[in-house]
Amino acid sequence: MIRKVFLTILLIFGFSFAYQDLNAKQFYEMMQKEKNVIILDVRTPQEYQEGHISNAINIPVQILGQQLDKLNNFKDKKILVYCRSGHRSAIASQILDKAGFKNVYNLKGGLFEWKASGLPLVK
């Protein structure tokens, strides 16, 4: 509820985030065609261990702000962000955008959409 109110206020004042939402097919295609893409899983370590997208780095959204130094070398690369449903990855995408990352892409619908599209996970 609070998040919706906050986002509504931001939209009213014309502020928008620079990250882009992608559906599962677009997200997968970008992974396949881009050589220097970073895949960021912002779920908990336990969720990550249960299954994740291949080559994903796991930094939970709750500590992302304190772990940005781990990503500073990737500011010029495309960062593909995902979580279970797309909610936490949208928040993480906003954090990255605010920190100066300009090529951020959020998996809209998260792993729910990824799995529904029949795309692979690794354990």
State the catalytic residues.
83
Cα separation of 106 and 96, whole Å?
Answer: 11
Q: How far apart are CA 31 and CA 114, in angstroms?
A: 13
Counting beta carbons within 10 angstroms of the beta carbon of residue 15, is it exposed (0 to 12), middle (13 to 18) or buried (19 or more)?
exposed
